[in-house]
Amino acid sequence: MDWQRDAIGLVAGFLIAVVTSPAGVSGAVFLLPVQLTVLEVPNPRLTPTNLLYNVVSGPGALVRYVRQKQLDRPLVSAIVAGSLPGVVLGAVLRVHVASDPTVFRLIAAAVLLPTGLLVLRRRAPRPTGSGYGRRTIVALGFATGTVGGLYGVGGGSLLAPLLAGSGMAMAVVAPAALAGTFLTSIAGVVAFAVLALGSTDTIAPDWSLGVAAGLGGLVGGYCGARLQPHVPERRLKDLLGVLAISLSVLYVVQAVLGR
């Protein structure tokens, strides 16, 4: 066990979760570059390690949201109905299709860029509504779950802005997206662990780092959920959008330079 590396993961997990959990994002989407660049976690191990972070950190924000009576259970069930099979498919694709670091960076960039642009997109104020129907939410859950299995984010970083754009309030979207990410990530960790049994590659999670970062996210997520009612929604979205776009550009540059 590398205590210094795990300590960095702990602090990173806390800081990221404080910022992202009010918007319904676990923070794994921003933890991945820390793993890749700073901690040098081997590819494709960093993906299941990210999912393990989601599993450990998820209850922090969820407990707070449940206490605040913000969890929409029918919405969560629709998300999970699609995202669970999606994340298993994504895990298989991650191991057998996108194991090359360059391919992985380009996939990550392709996920982050449109997400960032969607989050930053300014729209005229619209009345809050029920948003998409159940079938549409299940389909979106499957698509984002598949990407989540590939990228190790659980899908919440993509699903939350999509649901918010449909007219749902962030007070409803954030808890449901985080609950979906938590449950989907459990399935993703199990899928990668099973795939690792028949492979010589490093595709099982880095258990100590994932748990350490997750513990930081556990506390950070609770704090972020508590802060949500006091932080302007637009400011959170702007920050997440800029970070996502910046990371996508970084990955493209690294892929082109072969680093």
Residue predicted with more confidence, 148 or 82:
82
Number of domains in the chain: 1
Mean pLDDT of 51-73: 89
| Residues 26-49 pLDDT 10s | 888 788 778 877 888 877 788 888
> Which amino acid is located at 96 in the chain?
H
Mean pLDDT of 70-75: 90
| Residues 96-105 pLDDT 10s | 776 566 776 7
pLDDT at 99: 59
CA distance 116 to 242: 6
Mean pLDDT of 109-113: 79
Task: Spell out the residues 6+ positions from residue 120 whose beta carbon is closer than 8 angstroms to its own.
Answer: 237, 238, 241, 242, 245
Where residue 136 falls (left for φ over 0; alpha for ψ -120 to 50; beta otherwise) is: alpha
pLDDT at 148: 79
| Residues 206-246 pLDDT 10s | 889 999 999 999 999 999 888 887 877 677 677 767 877 88
Mean pLDDT of 175-201: 84
* Tokens 């670091």 belong to residue: 101
CA distance 26 to 24: 7
Reply yes or no on whether the pLDDT at 184 is more than 50.
yes
DSSP run (H or E) holding 158 = helix 156-165
Q: Mean pLDDT, the chain, as a whole number?
A: 82
CA distance 40 to 1: 15
With cut-offs at 50, 70 and 90, classify the pLDDT of residue 199: low
CA distance 171 to 212: 28
- Which of 7-11, 87-91, 122-126, 224-228 is the least confident region? 122-126
- Which of 18-22, 139-143, 253-257 is the least confident region? 253-257
Q: Residue 89 class from Cβ within 10 Å (0-12 exposed, 13-18 middle, 19+ buried)?
A: middle
CB-CB contact of 143 with 86 (8 Å): yes
| Residues 128-163 pLDDT 10s | 455 688 999 999 999 888 887 877 676 777 788 778
Which of 49, 51, 235 has the alpha carbon at shortest distance from 156? Answer: 51
Structure-token pair, residue 22: 């009010």
CB-CB contact of 13 with 209 (8 Å): no
Reply yes or no on whether the pLDDT at 125 is more than 60.
no
Structure-token pair, residue 69: 């009576």
Q: Residue 166's domain spans which residues?
A: 3-257
pLDDT at 101: 63
CA distance 203 to 185: 15
pLDDT at 128: 46
Residue predicted with more confidence, 72 or 154:
72
pLDDT at 255: 78
